[in-house]
Structure 1
Amino acid sequence: MNKISAHVNNIALHHTIFALPFAYMGMFLATDGLPSLHDFIFITLAMIGARSTALILDNLIDLKYDRLQPRLAKRPMVTGDVKTPEVLILMFISIILFTFSALQLAPICIYLAPLAILILFLYPYTKRFTFMCHFVLGSALAMAPIGSYIAVTGTINLPILILGLGVCLWIGGFDAIYGSQDEAFDKKHGLHSLATKFTARRVFPIISVVHFISIICFIITGYAYHLTYTYYIGILIAIITLIYQHSIVSPYNYSRLTQVYFMRNGIVSIVIFIFTVISISAK
């Protein structure tokens, strides 16, 4: 059980809360109603496979830096509770799960699967050469609603891309805030982030604008899909949550940048998804 727990922590399974509701949102928008059980099951499995692969790759590729970072001293791969051969096996299983699930969905999915895996593989390396790495991570999460929409319809349109952009900016923004506390460490080791480019102090106003744009994207999505007013109640809750999250962390005080802080961000995806379902049901 300790070994299983270590692997669960290694892939931060509880952080699935950030992406999975948006994947389900893409499904409901694609059908403008209740998606089939078949699509629901295989999109969920594809998400689990893709996300597990992403976290394993990130932990493997960044392991040499994580071992030098005191803040990450308790990570399972750093402590040795999880061994490299074990995570490679788990990653292989995760890729198979993702690929098998893609085969069960719209035919185009299996052709797009390599592109998705490429983005997951690319992200950990982007901090070596660009301060925009946070938004590459956001792009990976943006695949959740876009991918599930494609999985159901076999097509793509502008509104779902706008939703994906909103997710990208929302996730990328919080990753930039999280990464800003490592400004000194990243500069010392030649890593890149918004903080190393503009300083941590300037990251916060920049991300306030980024998150404002993400909210605009969510609003445009509701308008484009003719969602009812109940959807915008969810957006209002998301706005209040984002304002609160920005108010309790600053470049001078990261003490509240905890797991609770990040799980609270999950409220945004859950709330927007729930009110999307309510809105679609009310049509």
Structure 2
Amino acid sequence: MSDAAFLPGASGGATRPGGGGGGQEHAVGHVRAFLRLVVIEHSVFALPFAYIAALAGSFAASGSVHWADLGLVTIAMVAARTFAMAANRIIDRAIDARNPRTAGRELVTGAVSVRTAVVGSVVALGVFLAAAATLSWLCLALAPIAVAPLVIYPYAKRFTDFPHAVLGIVQAAAPIGAWIAVTDHWSWAAFVLGLAVGAWIGGFDLIYACQDAEIDRRIGVRSVPARFGIRGALLGSTVTHVVTFALFVAYGLMENNGAWWWAGLAVTAAAFSYEHVIVSPKDLSRVNRAFLTANGFVGIALFAFALADLISRGLSA
């Protein structure tokens, strides 16, 4: 069970003896290996929804994009996710070593040392806190509330059958935090959007976790598929994504969104349907297609429609 698709490990970037640029190549190799460790490209899943909230907040506050704040939100989001993934990999490295699907991860194979992962996670946390402080004192004050679930999540599979719900709570913070970052105040609409994102990601984590149902039972990792079976997990994912869609509708109504937003939800509904059609209890061979393709598409497509909607209603650069 995992919050991100497994990518095979690779070389840690050893230097060539006697090479003049060996030290630099070694450092670059460590950085590349660390970025593989945290699967940096998967920031695409939550970042679009942070942008939706940030741009909607900017529109509500002044009618124009707050570019500096948007840049800081990007830095904070990527840094927070990098910290979370590094912490996850460090905490779970013994479990990963016992699962054939994850036994090739960088901390298991040694492509990345625990020391490098710890240093990388500390740097990422520092960047996140610095970005939060630059945004506002309120953002900095709320930062620990965002960080705590990031550390709790890897342990969730040890004490609850519903670690996917904890992951959802983690991801729900992105739109809420992004709205506060650009407006400096609370928004119930952003809260609803956060719930939608949390339900969306928790729902597709239920699908992804089905791959590990048998091995999780064997090694004592707790999850919905391990406890209730693959059929139960897929049913739970379907219900969760129906709730997700209802929350997207509620957000659109609360923000008085226009035709572009509703067109985006139609596309999202089609993507959700596709995701649930291609995976079944008897055939999990297309889980990665559902995880990577369908969910990556949902985030990017809905952001594009949300942006078009905001522009059509007067958002200016």
Q: Identify which of 137, 144, 158 aligns with 2:167.
A: 137
- Name the CA distance, whole Å, in 2 between partners of 1:22 and 1:236: 17
- Name the CA distance, whole Å, in 2 between partners of 1:269 and 1:261: 12
* Matched position secondary structure for 1:252: coil
Pick which of 260-269 and 149-158 moved more: 260-269
- Name the CA distance, whole Å, in 1 between partners of 2:225 and 2:146: 27
**How many angstroms does 1:259 deviate by?**
6.1
**How many angstroms does 1:4 deviate by?**
3.2
Partner of 1:15: 42
- Name the CA distance, whole Å, in 1 between partners of 2:86 and 2:159: 21
Highest Rg: 1 or 2? Answer: 2
Please show how residues 185-204 of structure 1 align to structure 2 within 5 Å. Answer: 185-204=215-234
Partner of 2:30: 3
Give a deviation string over 1:218-263, Cα, whole Å, max 9, x none: 1111111011111111111111111101111112211112267424
Partner of 1:273: 303
Letter in 2 for 1:25: I
1:149 to 2:176 alignment: no
Partner of 2:210: 180
Instruction: Mark the runs of 5 or more structure 1 residues left unpaired by the alignment.
Output: none
* Matched position secondary structure for 2:135: coil
Give a deviation string over 1:157-202, Cα, whole Å, max 9, x none: 2221111111011000111111122112112222211112211111
Letter in 1 for 2:52: M
Partner of 1:30: 57
Partner of 1:107: 137
- Name the CA distance, whole Å, in 1 between partners of 2:289 and 2:261: 27
Partner of 1:72: 102
- Name the CA distance, whole Å, in 2 between partners of 1:17 and 1:8: 14
- Aligned-residue RMSD, C-alpha: 1.4
Please show how residues 179-258 of structure 1 align to structure 2 within 5 Å. Answer: 179-258=209-288
Q: Identify which of 77, 80, 84 aligns with 1:54.
A: 84
The number of aligned residues is 283
**How many angstroms does 1:2 deviate by?**
4.3
Kept in 2: contact 1:15–1:263 (CA 8 A): no
Pick which of 178-187 and 50-59 moved more: 178-187
**Identical aligned residues as a percent:** 34
Instruction: Mark the runs of 5 or more structure 2 residues left unpaired by the alignment.
Output: 1-27
